[in-house]
Structure 1
Amino acid sequence: MKEIKFQFEDLKVYQKSLDFVDIVYKVSNTFPKEENYRLTSQFIRAATSVALNIAEGSGDTNPQFSRFLQIALGSVKECVVCVAIAKNQKYISIEEENNLRERLEELSKMISSLQKYLKNTND
């Protein structure tokens, strides 16, 4: 059976963003149940938004893709705040906080690099 694949699925930044979503689901499962419609929901939506915007913008014009990548960067920043809140509320350990922040930093750098590449190929 033939594998159906979209071009954006080959982007490393997209693959890393999906990995991050998996981690957020796993980590947020340990949050108290009363957080389901608060922090847990917001954290999952923000993490998912990173991958969704990378996918949605790919294949469009470079300026349009760059705009979607900017939205993805905003979602990365939302995730940073969710991590800080989770740490402050003692829902995650220092180790988990560091791991999440490292992954967010990597995503941020990859998205920014892709934006620069798109800008340079557009000039």
Structure 2
Amino acid sequence: MNKESFKSHEDLAVFKLAFNTAMKIFELSKKFPQEEKYALIDQIRRSSRSVCANLAEAWRKRRYKAAFIAKLNDCEAEAAETQVWIKFAVKCDYLDVLQGRELYATYNQVLSGLINMIKNPNKWIIGE
């Protein structure tokens, strides 16, 4: 697909994957202990959602290569942060190991897609 095939950030496979995984984290985190509400629950939900929000912002900054890449870098950082929170959730026995591995692997896929976009920004930049 070329950039003309995409009407919105929501058409991107990496966005769909990040969004669906953030929703999965939301559902799973409902079962975390209440004492984690302002620590782990808020943090893992915030970082997982932030991947999506920053990708939407990056999409709207495609006129400016540096701004586009900067927002994608923010997405990458938030995805990596989410992986850390997943590891904490597993270590604290809030997620079982298999759930943790699945989520972590999914974020590796998200990271791979983001890095591909960062390395090939001209494929996405408009007005060039």
State whether TM-score is above 0.5: yes
Alpha-carbon separation, structure 2, partners of 1:91 and 1:120? 40
Matching residue's letter, 1:59: R
Alpha-carbon separation, structure 2, partners of 1:121 and 1:45? 26
Aligned counterpart, 2:88: 85
Structure 1 position 29, deviation (Å)? 0.8
Aligned counterpart, 1:117: 120
Aligned counterpart, 1:41: 42
2:97 to 94, 103, 116: 94
Structure 1 position 40, deviation (Å)? 0.2
Q: Structure 2 vs 1, CA of residues 77 and 121 (structure 1 numbering), >3 Å: closer, same or farther?
A: closer
Do the aligned partners of 1:50 and 1:73 also contact (CA within 8 Å) in 2?
yes
1:52-103 C-alpha deviation (Å, 9 max, x unpaired): 0000111322221111010111101111110111111111111101111111
Q: Identify the range of structure 1 (86-95 vs 112-121) with the bigger mean alpha-carbon deviation.
A: 112-121
Matching residue's letter, 2:67: Q
Question: What is the alpha-carbon root mean square deviation over aligned residues?
Answer: 1.8
Alpha-carbon separation, structure 2, partners of 1:119 and 1:49? 24
Partner-residue secondary structure (3-state), 2:60: coil
Partner-residue secondary structure (3-state), 1:92: coil
Aligned counterpart, 1:52: 53
Do the aligned partners of 1:63 and 1:119 also contact (CA within 8 Å) in 2?
no
Q: Say how many residue pairs are matched.
A: 118
Give the % identical residues: 22
Alpha-carbon separation, structure 2, partners of 1:121 and 1:27? 34
If asked which structure has higher relative contact order (CA below 8 Å, sep 6+), I would say 2
What is the TM-score with the length of structure 2 in the denominator? 0.85
Aligned counterpart, 2:79: 76
